[in-house]
Amino acid sequence: MRRLLGAVLVVAVGCSGGTPAVDGGTSGGGATAGGGATAGGGATAGGGATAGGGATAGGGATAGGGATAGGGATAGGGVVFYDGDGGLLSDGGCNVRSGTTLGVEQLSGISAVMIASPPGDARIFAIAQSGWVRLFKNGVLQSALVDDLSNSGRNLTAAGGERGLLGIAFHPEFSTVGSSHRGKYYLHYTSSSTGASVVDEFVLPPGADVTPVSPGPRRIIVVPQPFTTNHKGGSIEFGPDGYLYLALGDGGGDGDPNDRAQNDFDLLGKILRLDVDGDDFPGDANRNYAIPPGNPFAADGGAPEVWHKGLRNPFRFSIDATNHIYIGDVGQSYWEEIDAAPNTPLLNWGWDDREGAHCYEPDPGCLTAGRTDPVVEFSALDAGWHAIIGGQVYRGGCFPDLVGRYLYGDFAAGQVWSFRLDGGVATENRFELGGVDELTSIHETAFGDLYLTRRTGIFRIVVR
């Protein structure tokens, strides 16, 4: 049943009539947390993590009135919110609040799959699977679209199942005055015409909130997806090294039917690392990037874009400022997992020899040498986790007791948990929030604040 688990993953504009729908038939019994989810005691602590089974959810989202920037806000162009207790927050400062009791406050009721913001920029950009990019200024949703891949004559992507617009990243020099890379941002989506995974580069002029339709985007990469409609990955991130990382799933199907995730010459089931400032393939219109010199197959032995291998559907991943990578890899039938380690080349995350910290193919007797098991895993059967959502390490200045803590969750279980990575082990792994069903991302702004997106809106994570 859970082979379709990936299909649960993403909000979809359904084929049957165009209304947003979650292909939820596969989420199994009790997968969604209708407010006050209980963390099934089956949460297992892989690799030393302590899963405090049975924690109850603290209520979930309280919509704090849509976070408009009123009431004496003087943020000088920064993001302004109330923190739920009357405290003024902005990029330049906030009411610092101690403690570790988390809550959320709603920024908007729009259905987004991710938010992000450029370095040094207080605007918050949201993307929807259907193809639009919108932004918030001073906490207020702007009416004009930053971009729209499905309209505006672009017609680049079409949402459906796990396809559509899935990831956004900003060039490290997006805000750098005088840089030729100023204003560049990147969108990862599946092509409406071919289904291929595509990353394009767009340019938002300084001071503008809308991307000109002309000239069109610069293509970065096209990865054919000839197999099925699921397991497309999603996140793209720039690492501290300045390179763009792209997560791709195994291309779909049950049990990675052609064993692509372990095939070093196949781009599927991988994390790729690209230098978007160069072009090592001047004759190839679908490869407009350079190969970073440290890539494991830069010279030979595999596809030169490959950075990590052995992934099933790494829908959400992030690279912390400490250059540790955290990956939420959506499992097949039994195990949802968080992978985390220093971001060194050619880590093999195990799929499909391993599912979580267990043999998958074959079972028993799978290969284990050189495979890195997750730091945390959750049972689909016992904990009701069906589509794990990798999150982010909190690096903001508002909640000092959260700093260094990695937050993650699950689309179906509607929960957020967190841990600290210490010596390669997930420590203090604990339940944080329930009632956040249809979770699609947990991501940071330029100032280290964390937001989560759900099908029902965009929420800021706060300490209460």
The residue count for binding Ca ion (CB under 5 A) is 12
Least distance (Å) between residue 368 CB and Ca ion: 11
**CB under 8 Å to 180, separation ≥6 — which residues?**
none
The one among 50, 181, 224, 259 contacting Ca ion by CB under 5 A: 259
The one among 209, 275, 279, 382 contacting Ca ion by CB under 5 A: 279
**Cα separation of the two ends of the chain:** 39
> For residue 228, what are the CA distances in angstroms to 4, 199, 247, 253?
11, 19, 17, 6
Beta carbon nearer to Ca ion, 184 or 460: 184
**Sign for the pseudo-dihedral over CA of 293, 186, 325, 242:** positive
Calculate ∠ Cα 188-192-198, nearest 5°.
25
390 counts as binding Ca ion under rule CB under 5 A: no
**Among the residue ranges 38-46, 153-161, 350-358, 437-445, the one whose residues contact Ca ion (CB under 5 A):** 350-358
Rounded CA separation 315/167 (Å): 9
281 counts as binding Ca ion under rule CB under 5 A: yes
Beta carbon nearer to Ca ion, 57 or 221: 221
Rounded CA separation 206/321 (Å): 26
Q: What are phi and psi of 5, to 5 degrees?
A: -50, -40
Contact 251, 227 (CB under 8 A): yes
The one among 201, 352, 437, 449 contacting Ca ion by CB under 5 A: 352
Of 405, 441, 464, the C-alpha closest to 124 is 441
Per-residue binding string, Ca ion, 230-249, x by CB under 5 A, is: --------------------
**Among the residue ranges 26-34, 73-81, 263-271, 278-286, the one whose residues contact Ca ion (CB under 5 A):** 278-286
Beta carbon nearer to Ca ion, 270 or 287: 287
**Among the residue ranges 146-154, 164-172, 266-274, 287-295, the one whose residues contact Ca ion (CB under 5 A):** 287-295
Least distance (Å) between residue 448 CB and Ca ion: 28
350 counts as binding Ca ion under rule CB under 5 A: yes
414 counts as binding Ca ion under rule CB under 5 A: no
Beta carbon nearer to Ca ion, 88 or 366: 366
363 counts as binding Ca ion under rule CB under 5 A: no
Q: Residue 424 has which token pair?
A: 């390669």
Beta carbon nearer to Ca ion, 32 or 379: 379
Of 253, 211, 260, the C-alpha closest to 231 is 253
Length, in residues, of the chain: 464
**Sign for the pseudo-dihedral over CA of 252, 255, 257, 259:** positive
Least distance (Å) between residue 371 CB and Ca ion: 7
Rounded CA separation 446/368 (Å): 39
284 counts as binding Ca ion under rule CB under 5 A: yes
Beta carbon nearer to Ca ion, 167 or 350: 350
288 counts as binding Ca ion under rule CB under 5 A: yes
> Within positions 106 to 165, which residues make up the interface with Ca ion, using CB under 5 A?
none
Beta carbon nearer to Ca ion, 287 or 316: 287
How buried is residue 246: exposed, middle or buried, by Cβ count under 10 Å (0-12/13-18/19+)? buried
Q: What are phi and psi of 432, to 5 degrees?
A: -120, -45
- Residues in contact with Ca ion by the rule CB under 5 A: 255-256, 259, 279, 281, 284, 287-288, 349-350, 352, 361
